[in-house]
Amino acid sequence: MHLSIIILNYKKINLVRQQLRSLNEFHLPFSFETIVVDNASGDQIGVLAKEFSGVQILPLLWNCGMGAGNNAGLKRAQGEYMLILNPDVILLPRAIETLCEFLSKSQRAGIAGPKLLNPDQSLQYSCFRFPRWFTPLFRRTHLSRIPMGKKELNRFAMLDWDHKGARNVDWLQGSALLVRRKALEEAGLFDERFFLFFEDTDWCRRFWQKHWEVVYVPEAQMVHYPQRLSSSDGVWTLFNRLTWIHIASWIKYFWKWRNQKVNPNGQISMTNL
């Protein structure tokens, strides 16, 4: 087995350094390569190549977003499996091995994701059902407090499940994803039209479209430091650039999938909404 670990950096050099130290300490029992893609962050990420032997630094000329940045690493990767990893994820012992073992035994699994924990070790919801066009409204506004909003968010975040056993899910948060190369070749890279937000939702949906399973594997655990990229306190802040990026991705996603409906079992049928 050969694994490619792809870390996408944007002004998080110290977090990347911590991840690389963890990888050295864990002594993974198989061969792997580490590719650090830098989204033109200007934080001198190149010094890590001197601190950690064998680490590949891939500098980009501009900040091209989550999807395109990860694609640059995926194109460089040589591994049978590829691990997409955000810098704000803290690796725990055997998390990577557990994901790789699961994917090697589950031949129809195209993507596997770990259980993400908050820094206080509480569960962080990181697997979801596909959103409906109105789901972001409930997530980002005071509408989340009304009965319909609560019901929709419970459905979306899979709050009706204890998250204790491995199971197929619609999509996984893109903070930590292990991908099978064969599945990637069929489903394709991230859609680079999504600069930020919905790129992971769209990606998982395309894996399902190609009949590859997307699986949540809670036996593998990592800590994720959550970032508040958009506000849920009242309406979106219309003067916030990330608000407009989120709205643009929302529109692109639902327009792209406007003629396709997802069944409860994850299969996609070509029917008009």
* CA 72 vs CA 36, 190, 263: distances in Å: 10, 10, 32
Pick among 3.90.550.10, 3.40.309.10, 3.30.930.10, 1.10.10.60: CATH of 2-269: 3.90.550.10
Q: What is the Cα 33 distance to its own chain's centre?
A: 19
Q: Are the C-beta atoms of 246 and 136 separated by less than 8 Å?
A: yes
Coil, helix or strand for 207? helix
Question: d(Cα 160, Cα 145) in Å, to the nearest integer?
Answer: 18
Tokens of 21: 């130290």
What lies within 8 Å, CB to CB, of 112 at 6+ separation is 99, 102, 103, 106, 177, 178, 215, 216, 217, 220
**79: nearest Cα among 32, 36, 114, 113:** 32
12 and 37 Cβ atoms separated by less than 8 Å: no
Q: What is the pLDDT of residues 116-159, one digit of tens each?
A: 999 999 999 999 999 999 998 888 788 888 999 999 999 999 99
Q: What is the mean pLDDT of each run of 10 residues along the chain (273 residues)?
A: 96 96 94 97 93 96 96 98 97 97 96 97 96 89 88 95 96 98 98 97 98 98 78 54 89 93 50 32
Q: CA 5 to CA 177: how far, in whole Å?
A: 10
What span, in angstroms and rounded, lies between the C-alpha atoms of 33 and 54?
7
Q: Rounded CA gap, 261 and 116, in Å?
A: 28
Q: Give the whole-angstrom CA distance, residue 101 versus residue 105.
A: 6
pLDDT digits (tens, 9 = 90+) for 218-236: 999 999 997 754 444 444 5
Give residue limits of the domains in the chain. Answer: 2-269
| Token pair listed for 105 | 């035994």
For residue 165, give every residue at least 6 positions away whose Cβ sits within 8 Å of its Cβ, in sequence order, or none: 218
